[in-house]
Structure 1
Amino acid sequence: MFSQELPIYTALLLLVLPLYYLYSKASCKSKNPAVLPTNWPILRMFPSFVANFHKMNDYFTLVLARSGHNFRVHGPPGTGMRFFVTCDPANIRHIFTTNYTNFPKGAEFAAIFDIMSGGIFTIDGEPACRQRTKIKSVLSNPQLVARIEGWSRDKVENNLLLLFTHMARTSTSFNMQELMSRLMFDLAAMPLFGVDPGLLSLDMPPMEAAVAMDTVMEVAYFRVVVPASCWKLMRRLNIGPERKLKAAHKVLRGFVMEMMERRKIDTSSVGNGKQHEGVDIMSSFLDDPYYTDDDMFNALTISYMIAARDTVGTALTWIFYNLSQNPNIVSIIRNELSPIASCKVAAHPDAMVIFEPDETKSLVYLRAVLYETLRLYPPAPLERKMVVTNDILPSGHEVHAGDTILISLHSMGRMEGIWGKDCLNYNPDRWLSEDGNKLRYVPSHKFLAFNSGPRMCLGKDIAVMQMKTVIASTLWNFDVELMKGQCIEPKSSCILEMKNGLIVKLKKREMLH
Structure 2
Amino acid sequence: MIMLTIPLTVAVTLILTLFLFAYHQTKCLKTPAFTNWPFVGMLPQFLWNISDIHDFSAKLLTSKGGTMEFIGPWFTNMYAVITNDPLNVHYIMSKRFDNFEKGERFRETFQPFGLGIFTTDSHQWKYNRNLLQYLFKQRSFEAFQEKIIHNKVEKSLIPLLNHVQQQNGSVVDLQDVFNRFTFDNICSIILGHDPNCLSIDFPEVVCEKAFNQAEESIFYRHTVPACVWKLQSWLQIGEEKKMTEACKVFDQFLYSCIASKCEELKKNGNKNEINGQSNDAHHVDLLTALIREENSKGSESESIGNKFLRDAAFNLFVAGRDTITSALTWLFYLVATHPLVEAKIVEEIKENFGHKEKPWILSVDEVKKLVYLHGAICEALRLFPPIPFERKQAIEADILPSGHHVFPNKMVFFSLYSMGRDANIWGEDCLEFKPERWISERGGIVYAPSYKFFSFNAGPRTCLGRELALIQVKMIAASILWNYCVHVVGDHQVTPSLSIVLLMKHGLKVKISKRGI
Query: TM-score, with normalisation over the residues of structure 1?
Result: 0.89
Deviations 1:388-442 (A, max 9, x none): 111111111111112111100000000011111111011111111123x111231
- Which among 397, 407, 417 is matched to residue 424 of structure 2? 417
Aligned to 1:481: 487
- Which among 274, 293, 298 is matched to residue 310 of structure 2? 298
Mapped to 2, the partners of 1:119 and 1:343 lie a distance apart of 45
Aligned to 1:363: 370
Mapped to 1, the partners of 2:258 and 2:113 lie a distance apart of 18
Q: Does 2:200 align with 1:202?
A: yes
3-state SS in 2 of match to 1:449? helix
Mapped to 2, the partners of 1:173 and 1:69 lie a distance apart of 41
Taking a change above 3 Å as real, the CA distance of residues 265 and 131 of structure 1, as seen in their structure-2 partners, is: closer
Deviation for aligned residue 1:117:
1.9
- Which among 143, 149, 152 is matched to residue 152 of structure 1? 149
Identical amino acids, percent of aligned pairs: 34
Matched AA of 1:405: V
3-state SS in 2 of match to 1:256? helix
Q: Is the 8 A contact 1:34 1:52 kept in 2?
A: no
| Higher mean C-alpha displacement, 355-364 vs 129-138 | 355-364
Let me know the Cα RMSD of the aligned residues.
Answer: 2.5
Matches within 5 A, 1:122-141: 122-141=119-138
Mapped to 1, the partners of 2:345 and 2:516 lie a distance apart of 17
Matches within 5 A, 1:214-233: 214-233=212-231
Q: Does 2:376 align with 1:378?
A: no
Mapped to 2, the partners of 1:457 and 1:464 lie a distance apart of 11
Aligned to 1:387: 394
In structure 1, list runs of 5 or more residues that go unmatched: 1-6, 20-29, 346-350
Aligned to 1:24: none
Q: Does 2:512 align with 1:506?
A: yes
Taking a change above 3 Å as real, the CA distance of residues 80 and 136 of structure 1, as seen in their structure-2 partners, is: same
Aligned to 1:285: 290
3-state SS in 1 of match to 2:354? helix
Q: Is the 8 A contact 2:261 2:288 kept in 1?
A: no
Q: Does 2:319 align with 1:323?
A: no
Mapped to 2, the partners of 1:413 and 1:33 lie a distance apart of 20
| Higher mean C-alpha displacement, 38-47 vs 159-168 | 38-47
Matched AA of 2:67: N
Deviations 1:37-61 (A, max 9, x none): 2211111112222222222211211
Q: Is the 8 A contact 2:93 2:458 kept in 1?
A: yes
Aligned to 2:350: 338
| Higher mean C-alpha displacement, 289-298 vs 328-337 | 289-298
Deviation for aligned residue 1:208:
2.1
Mapped to 2, the partners of 1:359 and 1:268 lie a distance apart of 39
Matched AA of 2:203: P
Mapped to 2, the partners of 1:32 and 1:306 lie a distance apart of 38
Aligned to 2:24: none
Mapped to 1, the partners of 2:282 and 2:139 lie a distance apart of 13
Q: Does 2:440 align with 1:464?
A: no
Aligned to 1:62: 59
Mapped to 2, the partners of 1:250 and 1:184 lie a distance apart of 22
Deviations 1:214-239 (A, max 9, x none): 22221111212322122111101111
3-state SS in 1 of match to 2:158? helix
In structure 2, list runs of 5 or more residues that go unmatched: 1-6, 20-26, 273-279
- Which among 467, 490, 498 is matched to residue 496 of structure 2? 490
Deviation for aligned residue 1:267:
6.3
Instruction: Report how many aligned residue pairs link the two structures.
Output: 483
Q: Is the 8 A contact 1:195 1:263 kept in 2?
A: no
Q: Is the 8 A contact 2:456 2:466 kept in 1?
A: yes
3-state SS in 2 of match to 1:493? coil
Q: Is the 8 A contact 2:389 2:415 kept in 1?
A: yes
Taking a change above 3 Å as real, the CA distance of residues 361 and 266 of structure 1, as seen in their structure-2 partners, is: farther
Deviation for aligned residue 1:264:
6.1
Deviation for aligned residue 1:466:
0.7
Mapped to 2, the partners of 1:107 and 1:156 lie a distance apart of 41
Matched AA of 2:313: T
Q: Is the 8 A contact 2:141 2:282 kept in 1?
A: no
Mapped to 1, the partners of 2:299 and 2:28 lie a distance apart of 51
Matched AA of 1:169: Q
Query: TM-score, with normalisation over the residues of structure 2?
Result: 0.88
Deviation for aligned residue 1:340:
3.5
3-state SS in 1 of match to 2:68? strand
Deviations 1:7-40 (A, max 9, x none): 99xx99xx99xx9xxxxxxxxxx99989632211
Deviation for aligned residue 1:276:
6.9
Mapped to 2, the partners of 1:420 and 1:35 lie a distance apart of 21
Mapped to 2, the partners of 1:264 and 1:441 lie a distance apart of 42
Mapped to 1, the partners of 2:228 and 2:31 lie a distance apart of 24
Matched AA of 1:57: H
Q: Is the 8 A contact 1:106 1:385 kept in 2?
A: yes
